[in-house]
Amino acid sequence: MHIKGTAVIWVVLGIVIVVAAVLYFSSQKMNMPIEQVDSVGSPQATAGTYEPYAQEKLALAETGNVVLYFHADWCPICRAIEGEINADPSRIPAGTHILKVNYDTATDLKQKYGVTYQHTFVQVDAQGTILAKWGNETTLTGVLARIR
């Protein structure tokens, strides 16, 4: 019985240490700055963005990467990738902009880029010219690895 009681104490102690570590590191992450300011006073993004598509946002490709994400709310893969993005938007590298395009309503964009199914990604330049297109990634890590 003594050995069993000691084992229980060690397990409880281990759980307390893990919970304390999680709380500590979570609070440290909350204190990180959302943006930094350079010496001139201009904000510099510390992470990329995930935002709704608008044609004028293609200009972001002049200084970074723009990827159109043909998303459908009913698509399980789309929901999973968007869930990853929303859980930790800082995973999107600085200078990378993922623009969410409604797969069900953006028929003109689907035709322009030859998109035939949801969860398709199209990297474009500032003029909207295709640089790369893919659709077989099911995780944010896979999507980010394909960006040129």
pLDDT tens across 53-88, in order? Answer: 999 999 999 999 999 999 999 999 999 999 999 999
- Of the pLDDT bands very low, low, confident and very high (cuts 50, 70, 90), residue 33 is very low
Q: Report the pLDDT value the prediction gives residue 32, as an integer from 0 to 100.
A: 39
Look up the domain containing 69 and give its range: 48-146
Q: Which domain CATH number covers 124?
A: 3.40.30.10
Q: Are residues 114 and 67 in the same domain?
A: yes
- Of the pLDDT bands very low, low, confident and very high (cuts 50, 70, 90), residue 17 is confident
90/120 Cα distance (integer angstroms):
22
- Which range (6-10, 36-40, 98-102, 119-123) has the least confidence? 36-40
- Of the pLDDT bands very low, low, confident and very high (cuts 50, 70, 90), residue 34 is very low
Decide if 100 contacts 58 (C-beta within 8 A).
no
Q: Are residues 132 and 73 in the same domain?
A: yes
Query: Is 38 part of any domain?
Result: no
Contacts 24+ apart (CB under 8 A), 17-25: none
Q: Are residues 135 and 89 in the same domain?
A: yes
pTM for the whole structure: 0.68
Q: Are residues 61 and 128 in the same domain?
A: yes
Taking residue 94's Cβ as centre, other Cβ atoms within 10 Å add up to: 13
